[in-house]
Amino acid sequence: MSEHQQWAFREPLQPKPEETQFDLERAFDAMVLIRAEVPADGYTASNLGTERGGYGVVIREDGLVLTIGYLVTEATQIWLTTNRGAVVAGYPLAYDRTTGFALIQPLGKLDAPPLRRGSVSDFKVGDAAFILGHGGCAHALKTRLISKSEFAGPWEYLLDEALFVTPAHPQWGGSALIDAQGDLIGIGSLLVQQAVNGEESHVNMFVPIDLLNPILEGMLQTGRSPHPPCPWLGMRTQDAENKLVVGRVAAKGPAERAGVKVGDIVLGVGATRAHSLAELFRAVRRLGPAGVEVPLMLARAGEVLRITVKSADRDDFLKKPKLH
């Protein structure tokens, strides 16, 4: 028995067929286990590792799998395992960095039913939901929505509205958030901490499925995101004690080339002050798409510096998938 199969949620936390308004077993069968291999010289290998695992959900009759992009970026090998034990190779068809969604095309018959996509428009704070992984009830969790709110990630990622649920699933990457009707309403992205009833608790962040509908056909037709590439600076910025501090700069990335240093405090863009990560990222993106020059205002050793960073398209730094 694999390590993945050994653990299980306590039974009171698991959804039961008699507690749901939909075919729970069919929903379980829509989930796949994802294993991805990334070459050691991949740009993301040092940060995300060369062996990655998580989940995906079948969303079409042809077996198309939806997951979270960091699982498969730069992957040279992808294996999909169904709930019934079949193993099929997969191809990373497209990755939309704006949302974080990725699509995997199975390279063989997956024989798994699709999960119907819903909408978060009627999903309210306090509503019950379910988080599904791979492996049936043992890896499924009853949860509830605690907030719909903006999310900014230090890696230059911004969502106007993300879904936050608790209790949290410990293996969240690519998991499916489904509502009381059994419809897919989000894809698992992160484990974060938030205040819940006055106490810090582990919370899962999900990317709302509504963000997929406008871009799905474009991703399928071109193998790329239909969103114009956002300007990428190549610096990981932390919001620490109301200061935006550069925690890491990507090797040979735009920020490093421009002279940005770890420990610099980001004050703003041009003459516009930024008091949060969201404000910083929005100020950068207002300047234009990837390639635009970004005038950063920084503080270093008590001095204010102005450094212009020529942004880039992050995809230009990554290994591209090869068709099997």
pLDDT band per the 50, 70, 90 thresholds, residue 321? confident
Residue 302 lies inside a defined structural domain of this protein = yes
Residue 197 lies inside a defined structural domain of this protein = yes
Dihedral-angle region of residue 135 (phi above 0 means left; psi in -120 to 50 means alpha; beta otherwise): left
Q: Are residues 201 and 239 in the same domain?
A: no
pLDDT at 225: 82
Q: Are residues 198 and 268 in the same domain?
A: no
Per residue in 246-298, pLDDT tens?
999 999 999 999 999 999 999 999 999 999 999 999 999 999 999 999 999 99
Looking at 211, 246, 280, which one is the last position of a domain? 211
Q: Are residues 252 and 189 in the same domain?
A: no
Q: Are residues 140 and 205 in the same domain?
A: yes
In this predicted structure, the answer to whether residue 78 has a pLDDT above a threshold of 50 is: yes
Q: Are residues 110 and 132 in the same domain?
A: no
Residue 108 lies inside a defined structural domain of this protein = yes
pLDDT at 198: 75
- Determine the Cα–Cα distance for residues 32 and 110; give it in Å rounded to an integer: 9
pLDDT at 3: 43
The domain total for the chain is 3
Per residue in 226-257, pLDDT tens?
888 999 999 999 998 889 999 999 999 999 99
Per residue in 100-150, pLDDT tens?
999 999 999 998 999 999 999 999 999 999 999 999 999 999 999 999 999
Dihedral-angle region of residue 258 (phi above 0 means left; psi in -120 to 50 means alpha; beta otherwise): alpha
User: Three-state SS across the chain?
Assistant: CCHHHHCCCCHHHCCCHHHCCCCHHHHHHCEEEEEEECCCCCCCHHHHCCEEEEEEEECCCCCCEEEEHHHCCCCCEEEEEECCCCEEEEEEEEECCCCCEEEEEECCCCCCCCCCECCCCCCCCCCEEEEECCCHHHHEEEEEEEEEEEEEECCCEEEEEEEEEECCCCCCCCCEEECCCCCEEEEEEEEEEEEECCEEEEEEEEEEHHHCCCCHHHHHHHCCCCCCCCCECCEEEEEECCEEEEEEECCCCHHHHHCCCCCCEEEEECCEECCCHHHHHHHHHCCCCCCCEEEEEEEECCEEEEEEEECECHHHHCCCCCCC
Instruction: Note down the domain range covering 189.
Output: 128-211
pLDDT at 242: 87
Q: Are residues 147 and 102 in the same domain?
A: no
Residues written for the chain: 324
Q: Are residues 304 and 266 in the same domain?
A: yes
Residue 227 lies inside a defined structural domain of this protein = no
CATH code of the domain containing 146: 2.40.10.10
Residue 270 lies inside a defined structural domain of this protein = yes
Looking at 179, 199, 222, which one is the last position of a domain? 222
pLDDT band per the 50, 70, 90 thresholds, residue 320? confident
- Determine the Cα–Cα distance for residues 293 and 172; give it in Å rounded to an integer: 36
Looking at 192, 222, 252, which one is the last position of a domain? 222
Q: Give the percent of the chain with pLDDT over 70.
A: 98
CATH code of the domain containing 274: 2.30.42.10
